[in-house]
Amino acid sequence: MSSMSSSTETQSDSAEADLLASDVAWNLETLLPDGMSADDMLADASTMADAIGEYRGRVATLDAAGLAELMTKLAEIGELMSRAGHYAMLKFSENTADPEAGAAMMAMEEAGTEISTKMIFVDLEFAAADDAHVDSIIGDPALDFCRHHLETMRLNRPHLLTEAEELILTEKGVSGSSAWVRLFDELTSAITIELDGETEPFSTGLALLQHPESETRQKAAAAVTEGLQPGLRTRAFVYNTLMLDKSVDDRLRNFDSWVSSRNLSNEASDESVDALVKAVVGRYDIPQRWYALKAKVLGVEKLKDYDRSASVADSQAEIGWDEASTIVRDAYASFSPELAGVVDRFFDEGWIDAPQRPGKRPGAFCAYTVPSHHPYLLLNWTSSNRDVLTLAHELGHGLHAYMARDQGLFHQSTPLTLAETASVFGETVTNNRLLSMIDDPGERFALLAATLEDGIATVFRQVAMNRFEHECHTTRREEGELSVEQFGDIWARTQTDMLGDAVEVTEDYRSWWSYIPHFIGTPGYVYAYAYGQLLALSVYARYEERGADFVPSYLELLSLGGSLKPEELGAVVDCDLADPGFWDAGLAIIDGQLTAAEEAAKAAGRL
């Protein structure tokens, strides 16, 4: 073989590796400090949890110093448990088909549950403490690192059971709900599709729904539907079982509705969430208007469900990892050099796992891990334009986690209602950075369309999925187990409510509810996407108004983590979350994006 031929093959291999992001893998071993194993950390945590027993019967009367000492010890235990648990979970996410990884994760969950049961009394005793006593100590500076956590704990008083009951529910949870969630993850991770005689990952089929050619989209959608058929009834049974489990838990804990426990953990009232959902449903005209416009752009009378994500770009270029990382780095640098420096660390220090692999958990997520360590990102890279936005999105989560690390274990994370703020903001920064660099009308329209579609997917589609969840949980409680056909009916109906006459919901689409993990692992989660998107758009509007002067406020918001109530965090960036009209303002921004896309389509000669 000639040296020139060898060099050409090397370049070809390198280009393919870049397109597949095949060399982008995380380093999980740093989660295990000083040569300790996950088992070692849990053993230490168990010993420390035993020592917590000395506080039994005294928690409700501790002074500020004593309570701070106790909470510090709990944080140390939580640090060890979270490091060990995240290590096992992330190793399992790499390959859910690996029996050793699955067994290790289950062992971690079982050990973690055993440790947690030793400390349940702490929450129960503090929740039952006298109001006057708590009021007298809660403002002490010694409790700054855990004050909001303690205040939130008190809100759970009406829903806590006796210690014996809490112990039973906690211990049974490992073989109950969490086991069913793991089964669902394994079932969905094993789904593959057949395309052109080749077996492909499920995520490849979903990515092809963005392809500009109708025939390719239709073929991909058919492959996705076919891939979902094996195990469909099993996944339906898993969902039925988890809905029943939740209904029992809600009944025992005196929650008024299926979503009330989620709202409480999100620090949002049932009324405020209802207001959000009603505001979004009341503007279903926005997605319907967009899809009607898109049908004209694509030259069809009416879109089918598998056409919703179709690219309107004149060509579908593949984007390699190096180019994508440069785009995202530059976008964050244009906003804040401080954030850009942290973004560089994600790319350069092994904090991201990007390539698709057999058995790898589908989708994308950010794992916060613990405040003393860095976060990790999991992606399934398909070298599409949407993947660039997903990367920017997950980096937003990662930045939020990293910036809030000084808040410690109790306050690093925010409620779900604010959890999407930094991720959506990061996407918006990336989109607008790219938009400022484009002169070609066709390219400009394609990017505006992608931005709008992300907003529609995050706000309107997620609320439509919330309506699906609402009807499923309500039907399960009132009528009993749902059939596959009933799930399909509810899915098609709630999707059609959002899509209207602009999109035809096909028969094949009726099973597409069955791969969505949020329904299974975090019921009630999805409305938080809409909450976070509308909040992030409003935050970005403040940035557009104030420019560089806004950046310190935004960095302060990230650094505060979840140490304040959502309304107080919103106030840091001049957003009034208590104002019922707040959601209307965010929806008006999306309406404005739609108008801009319409004008761009005309300028590009697409109408």
In angstroms, the first-to-last Cα distance of the chain is: 54
Mean pLDDT (whole number) for 517-523:
94
Rounded CA Rg of the chain: 25
Question: For the packed helices 527-546 and 551-560, what is the interaxial angle rounded to 10 degrees?
Answer: 150
The verdict on 160 and 236 lying in the same domain is no
Same domain, 530 and 397: yes
402 and 504 inside one domain: yes
In-domain check, residue 242: yes
- The answer to whether position 403 is within a domain reads yes
Q: Does residue 260 share a domain with residue 166?
A: no
Query: Which of 175, 192, 208 is where one domain is finished?
Result: 175
Sequential DSSP letters for 328-373: HHHHHHHH-HHHHHHHHHHHHTT-EEEE--TTPPPS-EEE---TTS
For residue 503, list its beta bridge partners.
303
Region 576-585: mean pLDDT is: 84
**Structure token pair of residue 195:** 């395309």
The answer to whether residue 374 is domain-embedded is no
Give the integer Cα–Cα distance in Å for 536 and 426: 9
List the structure tokens of 329: 């780095």
From 175, 200, 220, the end of a domain falls on 175
Q: How are beta strands 376-381 and 365-367 bridged, if at all?
A: antiparallel
Note whether 303 and 291 are within 8 A (CB).
Answer: yes
Q: Which residue has the higher pLDDT, 585 or 69?
A: 69
Residue 501 burial (CB < 10 Å; 0-12/13-18/19+)? exposed
Q: How many domains does the chain have?
A: 2
Quick check: is 519 in a domain? yes
Q: Give the CA count within 13 Å in the CB-facing half-sphere of 558.
A: 24
The backbone torsions φ and ψ at residue 355, rounded to the nearest 5 degrees and listed phi first, read: -70, 155
pTM of the model: 0.81
Query: Is 576 among the domain residues?
Result: yes
Q: What confidence tens digit (pLDDT) does each residue in 269-309 have?
A: 888 889 899 999 999 999 999 999 999 999 999 999 999 99
* CATH code for the domain in which residue 544 is found: 1.10.1370.20
Whether 427 and 511 map to the same domain: the answer is yes
One domain, residues 161 and 249: no
Q: Tell whether 86 and 235 lie within a shared domain.
A: no
pLDDT at 174 over 90: no
Residues spanned by the domain of 467: 230-318+384-607
Round to whole Å and give the CA distance between 601 and 607. Answer: 6
User: Using one digit for the tens of pLDDT, what is the confidence trace for 446-465?
Assistant: 888 988 998 999 999 999 99
Residue found by looking up tokens 């279903």 in the block = 284
Question: Residue 580: is its pLDDT beyond 80?
Answer: no
What average pLDDT does the segment 163-187 reach? 90
118-169 residue pLDDT tens: 999 999 999 999 999 999 999 999 999 999 999 999 998 899 888 898 888 8
Q: Are residues 168 and 239 in the same domain?
A: no
Domain boundary among 175, 195, 217: 175
Please check whether residue 2 lies inside any domain of the structure: no
Mean pLDDT in residue range 16-20: 92
Do residues 408 and 506 both lie within one domain? yes
Is 188 part of any domain? no
CATH number of residue 46's parent domain: 1.20.140.70
Length of the chain equals 607
567 is written with which tokens? Answer: 């309304």
What phi-psi label fits residue 205: left (phi over 0), alpha (psi between -120 and 50 degrees) or beta? Answer: alpha
Share of the chain above pLDDT 90, in %: 75
Q: Do 87 and 28 form a contact (C-beta atoms < 8 A)?
A: yes
Give the largest Cα separation in the chain, rounded.
85
Same domain, 460 and 563: yes
CA 236 to chain centroid, in Å, comes to 22
Same domain? For 288 and 415 the reply is yes
Residue 380 CA to residue 359 CA, distance in Å, equals 11
Tell me whether residue 271 is in a domain.
yes
- Whether 115 and 244 map to the same domain: the answer is no
